[in-house]
Homo-oligomer: A and B are copies of this chain.
Amino acid sequence: MTRILEVTDLILRDAHQSLMATRMAMEDMVPACEDLDNAGYWSLECWGGATFDSCIRFLNEDPWERLKTFRKLLPKTRLQMLLRGQNLLGYRHYEDTVVERFVAKAAEHGIDVFRVFDALNDVRNMKTSIAAVKKSGKHAQGAICYTVSPLHTVQAFVDMAQQLKEMGCDSICIKDMAALLKPQPAYDIVKGIKEKCGKDTLVHLHCHATTGVTLVSYMKAIEAGVDIVDTAISSLALGPGHNPTESLIEMLEGTGIETRLDLDRVLKIRNYFKTVRPRYKEFLSDITGVETEIFNSQIPGGMISNMESQLKQQGAGEKIQEVLLEVPRVREASGYPPLVTPSSQIVGTQAVFNILMGHYKVLTGEFADLMLGYYGETIGPKDPEVLEKAKAHAKKDLITCRPADLMKPEWEALRTDALSLPGCNGTDEDVLTFAMFPQVAPKFFATRDQGAKNLSKEPSKEAPAPAAAPKAGEAAAQPTGPVKYAVTINGQTHTVSVATAR
């Protein structure tokens, strides 16, 4: 009796997001689609994450058109997207109507599987999008952000899986964006979910490869009964990306478990992307080997180098070790959020401020909002002293409700604003684009008819971008306070205020 392990390939979304700053042009993906559609993947992740942002910010490409093209070229295979729950693909919370409209449009244009997550693992921030996916008749996958802290026990992850299942999720994803998931916890969590939620509960594992241990974690997860794993074709794999599809296929030999993948097709896909990757040299990640320090600092590698260069610009390059030690303390003070966009930026920036200007002498507006519940609930309690500083700084109180519950209907206002922009085509799709990227959409609408760019062919004049990381300035309201400074950290200018010491 052969057991089948299903595979999702990440080539069209997370692989190029992780390895080449989300810059791959649609033109470079089209030639592989026939092989991709016939290779036997359970799904192809091809939309969402940072691709929407990158399309309009860098590629002058309409992301909705990209999705429609994928649907045409990939008729047989499930199309999958990554959705940030109540944040959609933007960097703030949206009112429920906007979330519902977005999901309906994505479903209409071809998404079959919606992988929904929340940066804080607050399931309240996921419920509207999950309900909307169910309403559209599509596959709702609830994702758990994997992280490590004294409170993130196997039981805590299993309990979250059960909550997601009760919310109607068709499958559960363990999302290990920082390659922190080691083999033994991978085994324990998958086994725990299967035991608690039922053995027929589909469990899907997504690991990055950065630390070099996660293909081993895949093996142990497979032994524990995982149903689907995420890989990337070897020519677009490893480094800060993912484990190679071919290595996964081969490692199963003799175990009684196999994939449905057609190796000849996989080989053709490999050879094709081998020719594409070097053309994006300008955007390629520097990391080619493994990085294991993240197990200590809990900070993604890309972020460490960002913090390092920014500290240097402030003439404080020698403080990097202090900052690395401060990050886990800031994380503890803020209730142990997983470090993923945007919490990683918020926590990291606050750690830099603490070291440069004194312990919580200066708060960013985003950090105050995180402390006060405006991003949602964290697993652990907040540090009471820091919480008081956040209240004083932001001149608002702690909230305990779902953040979006405080929002007023905003669709009509967004629509009015979007339609006033030159080049806006008046569709709901354009309104959604504007809603998510109000600072970028105007320029995109105005230039859209010039056609999509392929940055690998016409080297752009933009400075080599460090990553497709979101701009934290878009994440929340700017802080206000008694004394204001403009401080540039991680390439972003923050208006920060110094609260009187208390």
A253 and B182 contact, Cβ closer than 8 Å, known pairs A212-B243, A213-B247, A215-B212: yes
A233 to B382, CA, bound (A): 39
Residues of A with Cβ closer than 8 Å to B? 182-185, 188, 211-213, 215-220, 234-235, 237-238, 243-244, 246-247, 249-251, 253-255, 267, 288-293, 295
Q: Which chain B residue shows the least CB distance to A238? A: B289
List the B residue with the shortest CB-CB distance to A184.
B254
Given contacts A183-B251, A212-B215, contact A237 B288 (CB under 8 A): no
Number of copies: 2
Contacts of A293 in B (CB 8 A): 267
The 7 closest A-B pairs by CB, nearest first: A212-B247, A184-B254, A246-B292, A213-B251, A216-B219, A244-B290, A213-B247
Q: Besides A216-B219, A249-B292, 6 other CB < 8 A contacts?
A: A183-B251, A211-B250, A212-B215, A213-B247, A246-B290, A247-B290
* B184 engages A292 (CB within 8 Å): no
A185 to chain B, nearest CB (A): 6
Selected contact of A216 from candidates B184, B216, B238, B295, CB within 8 Å = B216
Residue of B nearest to A219 (CB): B216
Bound CA–CA A219/B212 (angstroms):
13
How many Å from the CB of A8 to the closest CB on chain B? 18
- A125 vs B244: C-alpha distance when bound (angstroms): 39
**Which of A183, A213, A293 has the largest count of B CB atoms less than 10 A from its CB?**
A213
B219 touches A183 (CB 8 A): yes
Q: How far is the CA of A244 from the CA of B288 in the complex (A)?
A: 13
Chain B residues with CB under 8 A of A182: 250-251, 253-254
- A184-B253, A185-B254, A255-B183 given as contacts; is B237 within 8 A of A290 (CB)? yes
The answer on a CB contact under 8 Å between B183 and A247 is no
Residue of B nearest to A296 (CB): B263
Interface centre among A218, A237, A288, A290 (most CB of B within 10 A): A290
Q: In the bound complex, what is the Cα–Cα distance between A216 and B254 (angstroms)? A: 14
